[in-house]
Amino acid sequence: MNITHEDRMGGSVHLSEDGKKVIILDQTQLPNRQVYLTLGTAEEIYDAIKVLAVRGAPAIGICAAYGMYVLAEGREKEDADSFYAGLHKDGEYLISSRPTAVNLSWAVKRMLAVADQNKEAGVPEVVRLLGEECIAIHNEDIEMCSRISEYGLSLVKDGDGILTHCNAGPLATSKYGTAIGPMLLGKERGLHFHVFADETRPLLQGARLTSYELYKAGVDVTLICDNMASLVMKNGWVQACFVGCDRIAANGDFANKIGTSGVAILAKHYGIPFYTLGPTSTIDMSCPSGADIRIEERNPDEIKNMWYKEPMALNEVKCFNPAFDVTDHELLTAIVTDQGIIYPPFDVNLKKMFG
């Protein structure tokens, strides 16, 4: 696959022309405004990830990789000791912005490994190599999403109804996306899917981002509230569920946006195949099971206040706001990766492919 500069520019994250800043499309402003943010400091990159201006497991990995390069460039004049100490500190800081998606730490560690393995070459050469590495991470994501989309497309047929949760499209990745990739690729090939997008409380990624991306691409998309998934399944309107993932454990359990495991339980009840689609960078073979995945908890204001003119619950009322949940591998029909489709037993087959 020949990936061009334009392919990278088409995503939600890229490097500025002079290579000194990370540019992101601010996803908090969609679908109403297209606003780009320019990030140059560790704090700006951390905050953009934390507030979900850039979000989706692969996209935050790409953003962090570009961020590490930009920060390394800013330290180019430092002596080797302070360059390396500063770079490692920046890496740890960026990783701490969100704990659940493994792509973030995967990308930062990959950048640090390039720096550490080339110490002998001197700081300016290390900075140049980091520039190549962040572009490689982005290019690989475009390639992986394209392969995932092909594999995913082989699991559905023209006219099928597909339900998705949260947003795992181009905004969350690079080109095509993961869970949404087969729908976009299918559209390009003249297939007609009927997609149900869960609005995805509390941050509404399904409403604000998934229905936006699919509608713009000309895919038939219907937005539903999360609590309507059971009804559309019962009506026979859904032939497959496609969702993304933030971390896949070695036994096939996986973390994804809060509410995903509920969708999987419903799909099992109605006999509908349930797939998660993710790149190699989302598979964490060092994590034995879902019980070992740290789940991010977010500000209760996202439930009570964020989208309303007035608070929708008394100030005194407690809120529990986990950003992700873990879906048991028993509920999963298959894991669609860029390396192929993995069926149960997941522990054995994931080990064969990624062990």
For ligand MRU, the binding residues (CB under 6 A) are 52, 55-58, 101, 166, 168, 172-173, 177-178, 205, 244-246, 256-257, 323
- Smallest separation, CB 150 to ligand MRU (Å): 16
Residue with tokens 């990745």: 173
CB atoms within 10 A of CB 58: 33
User: What span, in angstroms and rounded, lies between the C-alpha atoms of 114 and 324?
Assistant: 31
The question of whether 246 is a catalytic residue gets the answer yes
Helix (H) or strand (E) holding 248: strand 247-249
Nearer to ligand MRU, 115 or 332 (CB): 332
- Smallest separation, CB 72 to ligand MRU (Å): 25
Nearer to ligand MRU, 51 or 80 (CB): 51
Handedness of CA 195, 304, 255, 229 (dihedral sign): negative
- Smallest separation, CB 57 to ligand MRU (Å): 4
List all residues 6 or more positions away from 300 whose beta carbon is below 8 Å from its beta carbon.
318, 319, 320, 321
- Smallest separation, CB 41 to ligand MRU (Å): 22
- Smallest separation, CB 323 to ligand MRU (Å): 5
Please answer whether residues 336 and 145 qualify as being in contact, where contact means their C-beta atoms are separated by less than 8 angstroms.
Answer: no
Return the residue nearest ligand MRU (CB atom).
244
User: What span, in angstroms and rounded, lies between the C-alpha atoms of 95 and 123?
Assistant: 23
User: What span, in angstroms and rounded, lies between the C-alpha atoms of 69 and 280?
Assistant: 22
Helix (H) or strand (E) holding 283: strand 283-284
What angle, 0 to 180 degrees and rounded to 10, lies between the N-to-C axes of helices 102-117 and 57-74? Answer: 30
Nearer to ligand MRU, 87 or 108 (CB): 108
Nearer to ligand MRU, 257 or 329 (CB): 257
User: Considering 7, 246, 253, 338, which one is annotated as catalytic?
Assistant: 246
Nearer to ligand MRU, 56 or 186 (CB): 56
Helix (H) or strand (E) holding 304: helix 301-304
- Catalytic amino acids? 246
